[in-house]
Structure 1
Amino acid sequence: MPKRLPPLKPLRAFEAAARHLSFTQAAAELNVTQAAISHQIKQLEDALGAALFRRMNRALKLTEEGEAFLPAVSQALETVASAAERIRTPQKAGPLTVSVLPSFASTWLVPRLSRFRQREPEIDIRLSADYELADFDLDDIDVAIRWGKGDYPGLAAERFMTEELFPVCSPRLVLEGPHPLKTPADLKHHTLLHDDVLTDWRVWLLAAGVNDVDPDKGPSFNYSDLVLQAAIDGQGVALGRSSLAHDALARGQLVRPFGIALPGDYAYYFVCPSYAVQRPRIKAFRDWLFEEADRDRRQDEEIPRLGARDDEAPDA
C-alpha cells in the first residue's frame, strides 16, 4: 500500500519559510500573500499532527520536528525540480546515434567527424551504417541521413546537399597513355566503371553527344565508394557523384576530365522525428552538417578541372 504523502503545495511553503525563517520572505519568493503561507503551514501541521514552527515576537524558529523534517523536504523538492528541468531542457552531452548509408559514411561523413568532435566534444556520435531505412519507432536511432527525394511522411526532413553526376578518373588517364582523355569521344578507348545505385552512363553519354561507346560494358559495383576506389586506382572512368567524389577531387586523387554534368535525381536529407528537432544534441549535429555541406560547395568552385572545356563539343 503506498505511503500517504502530505499535501504538496504546503511543502513548498514550509521549505521557503524554514529557509528564510520568515513567512513574509517566503510569501515574496512564492509570489503569494503572507496569509496564504500561514494557512498552508497550518494545513501541513494539521496533516502531520505536529507543530513545525515556534512563532515568537518578531521571530520564527523551527521546532525539533521542523528541523528534522526540513532536510528531507528540501532534498525531495530539489530532486523533483532537477528532474523537471532535465525534461524541459534536455542536456546536450551524451550519445547521438546516426543512421547513414555506408558509402556516404565512409567517403563523406567519417572523414569530417573529427571536426564535429572538436566542436562538440560532449556529444558521442554512434554511426549505424545500413542501406535499410531506420524506423524511429522501433530502432535506437536519433537522426538519419537519407538519400532520396525528401518524401518522409511524419518526419522532419531538410535537404542539405544536392548532387551532380560527371565522369571522374585518375589524373593518369587524362595526361598519360596512348589515348589521353581530351573529349568525351575518347571514352571509347577506356573502361567505363559502373555504379549500380544510380542512373548510369547511358544518360550522360547521350547528353555529351557520344553514340559510339557501349554504355553497358565494363565492371560494376554495388557500393558507390568501391567504384570511386576503382577509378582512383586507374582501372577506368567512373560516373561520379559530386558529394562522394568531393574529397578525392580535392586531394587530386581524381579529376574531372570533362565539364558536362547532370543533376542528380536524389539529394541528401537530414531526417528526425518532428518532436526532436530542437533537442540540443540533434540541433548541434544538424547545424554542423549543414555547415560542412556549405564548406564543400565553396571548395567545389576551387577544384580544377582537367581535359575538355565546358563549351567543347564532341566529334559528330
Structure 2
Amino acid sequence: MSLSPPRPSLPSLNALRAFEAAARHEGFVGAADELCVTAAAIAQQVRALEDWVGKPLFHRKARGLQLTSEARAMLPRLVAAFDALAGAAHGLRRHADRQEVQIAALPCVAQLWLSPRLGAMRKAFPNLAFSVVALENPPDFARDPFDFGLFFADADVPHCSTQTLVEDELFPVCAPQLLADREGSLDLAGLADMTLLHDARWRNDWARWLRHAGDRQVDARRGSTFSLYSMAVEAAIEEAGILIGHSSLLQAPLGDGRLLAPIDGAALRGPPLSLILPEGGRRDAGTEAVVAWLRETAPAPAGR
C-alpha cells in the first residue's frame, strides 16, 4: 500500500487562466482578446471553474461582470502565480539556443516601418528568424513571449523600458496630382473642398491638427475612414483625399514624391515611435544585437 496520498484534483490550467484574465479585464471580451479565443470559450471555462469551486465567481450584471468577494480575495494569488509561470517559461527560452526573435508591433508600424526593413535585418542576422505579430496595444511582456515591441509611446509601459527610435510629426499629406491646379500648395481655407481621410485608430488626428493650426472652420469629422492606416495612406497616394501623415511612417512616399506636405508649417509633435523592451534581463545576445541594429539604422523622420 502506498504511503503517499494522491494529489488532490485541481481545475484545468485553461479554466484558471480564463478566470484570471476575465477578472483582470472585468469581462469575457477583453479576456478573449488577450487569450486569442472567443468570449464564449472564456465563459465556458469560467463556468467549469465555478462548477469545481462550487459557487459563482462573478456577479453577472447588465453592464458587465463583478467579482464576488471570495474571487476578489483569490485573484492576487492567481495573478502572481501566472506571472511566476510566465517568468519561468521565459527563463527556459532565454537559456535555450534560440534562433528566433519575436516582435510585437502596432499594425501600421509593422506594415509601413518594419516591413521595409526586414530584408536588411535578415541579411544582417542570417542565423536568426523574425516573427512579427501586429497588435493594437503593447502586450503584457511579463507573460507574452515577445522579445520587444514597436509602438508609439510617450509614457512608460509597466515592467518595460521605453526608448525612442524615431520622433513623429503630424501634418497633412496628399498626392501631388491632387494639387495640380493649386501649384502644389494649399492653405487652411483650401481644406474646405477636399475629402479628409481618417484612420480608425487615429480618428482624432484631424481635429487635433486643426486645433493646433488654429482652424475653427473645417469639419474634422467628415470624409472617409479606414480600419488600417496603411489603407488610408494608399488612398491618399491614389488621390482619394488628404490625410494627416505621421512622418515616421511615411518616409518612403514622402521621399519619392508619391506624397507631399502641401501646407507649410504647423506640424504637430506626436508620441515617438519607440522600442519597448521587457525589464528583468530577458534579452538574449541575438535580441540585443537586433535592438542595437534598429537603434543605429532608424533614420530621422522624412523632411517636409
TM range (shorter): 0.5 to 0.7
Please name the residue that 1:248 is paired with: 253
Please name the residue that 1:157 is paired with: 162
Over 3 Å counting, the alpha-carbon distance change for 1:236 and 1:129 in structure 2 is same
User: 1:248, 1:190 → 2: CA distance?
Assistant: 20
User: 2:268, 2:297 → 1: CA distance?
Assistant: 20
Kindly state the Cα deviation for residue 253 of structure 1 after the two structures are TM-superposed: 1.1
* Equivalences for residues 1-316 of structure 1 within 5 A: 94-174=99-179, 176-177=180-181, 181-198=185-202, 199-276=204-281, 279-293=284-298, 295-297=299-301, 300-301=302-303, 305=304
Q: Given that residues 165 and 275 in structure 2 are in contact (C-alpha distance below 8 angstroms), is that contact kept between their aligned partners in structure 1?
A: yes
Kindly state the Cα deviation for residue 277 of structure 1 after the two structures are TM-superposed: 6.1
Kindly state the Cα deviation for residue 150 of structure 1 after the two structures are TM-superposed: 3.0
User: 1:281, 1:260 → 2: CA distance?
Assistant: 42
Kindly state the Cα deviation for residue 114 of structure 1 after the two structures are TM-superposed: 0.9
Amino acid of the residue matched to residue 170 of structure 1? Answer: A
- Per-residue CA shift, 1:223-278, capped at 9, x if unaligned? 22121111011000001111112211112111111222433442222122223365
Give the number of the structure whose alpha-carbon radius of gyration is greater.
1
Q: Given that residues 163 and 243 in structure 1 are in contact (C-alpha distance below 8 angstroms), is that contact kept between their aligned partners in structure 2?
A: yes
Q: Given that residues 187 and 213 in structure 1 are in contact (C-alpha distance below 8 angstroms), is that contact kept between their aligned partners in structure 2?
A: yes
User: 1:236, 1:283 → 2: CA distance?
Assistant: 42
Amino acid of the residue matched to residue 96 of structure 1? Answer: V
User: 1:92, 1:262 → 2: CA distance?
Assistant: 46
Residue ranges of structure 1 left out of the alignment (5+ in a row): 1-86, 306-316
Q: Given that residues 180 and 186 in structure 1 are in contact (C-alpha distance below 8 angstroms), is that contact kept between their aligned partners in structure 2?
A: no
Helix, strand or coil at the partner of 2:152: strand
Identity of aligned residues (%): 29
Amino acid of the residue matched to residue 139 of structure 1? Answer: D
Q: Given that residues 173 and 181 in structure 1 are in contact (C-alpha distance below 8 angstroms), is that contact kept between their aligned partners in structure 2?
A: no
User: 1:209, 1:136 → 2: CA distance?
Assistant: 40
Helix, strand or coil at the partner of 1:151: coil
Residue ranges of structure 2 left out of the alignment (5+ in a row): 1-91
Kindly state the Cα deviation for residue 209 of structure 1 after the two structures are TM-superposed: 3.8
Number of aligned residue pairs: give it. 211
Kindly state the Cα deviation for residue 122 of structure 1 after the two structures are TM-superposed: 1.2
State TM-score, norm by structure 1: 0.60
Amino acid of the residue matched to residue 144 of structure 1? Answer: G
Over 3 Å counting, the alpha-carbon distance change for 1:111 and 1:180 in structure 2 is closer
Q: Please, what is the CA RMSD of the aligned residues? A: 2.5
User: 1:227, 1:122 → 2: CA distance?
Assistant: 36
Helix, strand or coil at the partner of 2:114: helix
User: 2:259, 2:97 → 1: CA distance?
Assistant: 39
Helix, strand or coil at the partner of 2:248: helix
Please name the residue that 1:38 is paired with: none
Q: Given that residues 146 and 268 in structure 1 are in contact (C-alpha distance below 8 angstroms), is that contact kept between their aligned partners in structure 2?
A: yes
